[in-house]
Amino acid sequence: MAGSTRWTVPPERLDLRFEDKRPSFDGKEAFAEASRCLYCYDAPCITACPTSIDIPTYIRKIATGNLRGSARTILKSNLLGYSCSRVCPVEVLCEGACVYVGWGRKPIEIGRLQRFAMENARQPSLLPRAEKREGSIGLVGAGPASLACAGTLSLLGYETVIYEKAELPGGLNVSGIAPQKIRAEEVLDEVGFIQDLGVEIRTGQALGRDFSGQELLDRHDVVFFAPGLGADSLRGLSGARGEGLVGAVEWIARMKLDPGTSLDGIRSAAVLGGGNTALDVVQELASLGVPEVCLVYRRSEEEMPGYEHEWLGARKLGVRLLEQAAVTRVARDSNGALSGIELVRTEGGRPTSERLTSVECQLVVVATGQERLIELAAQFPGVACDELGCVIADEETLVTGNPRVFTGGDCRNGGKEVVNAVDEGQRAARAIDSLLRGES
């Protein structure tokens, strides 16, 4: 039955040791912060939001005590308004665009106000629900893109079934987002909200293993393909795989979900990469008390693709940068335990033969990207990937080369923010509705 299963996570995990990065407001704090908003005409914060939430309106409703109205305003534009309030890089989106920034003053804390409205008033009954209508949509992957797409379509009256290969729904939101931003049980609570809109979720169901693309097309009128990305790419280090060397997404999942994960005996750790996942992991390791944490990046500090504010946060925690460096060897002791890495200098991001240094460490986390799921896309006739392994689709409607298959999220955009996945899922839902109504 749709929405009947609820998932839980083990009570003992490393992620419980993290402080909340953007803690909840209480009622007085929220009122005071909402009252600072100028309710700008043509508000730049709306333009900066990929889902175009009417930010001044929901903030005004908080200021006037209309929390249900505030939550409705958010959910009308973004069904995952709760997780977006927790994990969005607001510094470079809505808050970065707030008019206060231009005057050298602190922007409105839009993310925390959105969290306040969501925590206090998010309910399925806030959203209008259409009569049941003909049409069934099968969705591959239970990450933010599928959850937003399925929730939107369910509200429009369609049958929606999500197939997820993992045992837990939520995608990277549940297992791959830094635990100081959102915890797995909070993500599962939001998944429950989407289920309450009428969405059915079947976990432990893998495309290509438990069913084929053709079987899915036979079962449903339309498919939404959003499996995310694949396993961590270990880029030349796969031969060194073993205890102590792990991919970043796998490492974050262990911290968030595995009660057996511990940092006992880790005196020094190295994280490879310069993107936001790498910056999350170095901050996590330093916050969890690893005495020496270094970031190894193959280009210069200025070229790091991660957000500047995240790198500043890492530096404040004492993280050391080894720039223009690449690992050439992973050393292990006679017992096979990881003992260090050797580095050479890079030029233009490529390793040279010039030895740079060696670093003693007991843990290496590789955060240099994830594999693409090209073979999964090939399960559907007409669906193709570009040279970067991203699924090719129409920018506006998200329809692929197969008119019955739509796509969105990381498998299409290569790995952007949760809010981008939500936007793509919702846009695809509107296009699927048009198709099923015979309007396109």
Q: How far is the CB of 60 from ligand SF4 (least distance, A)?
A: 9
The nearer residue to ligand SF4, 40 or 130, going by C-beta atoms, is: 40
Q: How far is the CB of 41 from ligand SF4 (least distance, A)?
A: 9
The nearer residue to ligand SF4, 106 or 329, going by C-beta atoms, is: 106
Interface residue with ligand SF4, options 39, 242, 291, 300 (CB under 6 A): 39
Structure tokens at 114: 């959105």
Backbone angles phi, psi at 200, to 5 degrees: -95, 135
The region of 9-17, 34-42, 221-229, 412-420 touching ligand SF4 under the rule CB under 6 A is 34-42
Q: How far is the CB of 29 from ligand SF4 (least distance, A)?
A: 16
Applying the rule CB under 6 A, the residues between 48 and 107 that interact with ligand SF4 are 55-56, 98-100
The nearer residue to ligand SF4, 103 or 131, going by C-beta atoms, is: 103
Interface residue with ligand SF4, options 9, 30, 37, 245 (CB under 6 A): 37
Applying the rule CB under 6 A, the residues between 110 and 129 that interact with ligand SF4 are 110
Measured between alpha carbons, how far apart are the two ends of the chain, in Å?
31
State yes or no: residue 108 binds ligand SF4 (CB under 6 A). yes
CA separation, residue 130 to residues 158, 184, 197, 314, 320 (Å): 9, 31, 11, 47, 55
Q: How far is the CB of 106 from ligand SF4 (least distance, A)?
A: 11
State yes or no: residue 47 binds ligand SF4 (CB under 6 A). no
H or E element that contains 269? strand 268-272
The nearer residue to ligand SF4, 81 or 151, going by C-beta atoms, is: 81
- Phi/psi zone of residue 218: left (φ > 0), alpha (ψ -120 to 50 degrees), beta? alpha
Cβ atoms of 270 and 296 within 8 Å: the answer is yes
**Burial class of 326 by CB neighbour count within 10 A (0 to 12, 13 to 18, 19+):** buried
Site string for ligand SF4, 273-292 (x = CB under 6 A): --------------------
Radius of gyration of the chain (CA): 22
Q: How far is the CB of 89 from ligand SF4 (least distance, A)?
A: 16
**Closest listed residue to residue 363, CA positions, set 242, 201, 222, 245:** 245
State yes or no: residue 30 binds ligand SF4 (CB under 6 A). no
**Closest listed residue to residue 146, CA positions, set 204, 80, 48, 93:** 80
Interface residue with ligand SF4, options 9, 14, 30, 45 (CB under 6 A): 45
Cβ atoms of 241 and 231 within 8 Å: the answer is no
User: What is the layout of strands, in order, in the sheet containing 338-347?
Assistant: 325-332, 338-347, 350-360
Structure tokens at 28: 């007085």
Size of the site for ligand SF4 (CB under 6 A): 14
Q: Applying CB under 6 A, which residues contact ligand SF4?
A: 37-40, 43-45, 55-56, 98-100, 108, 110
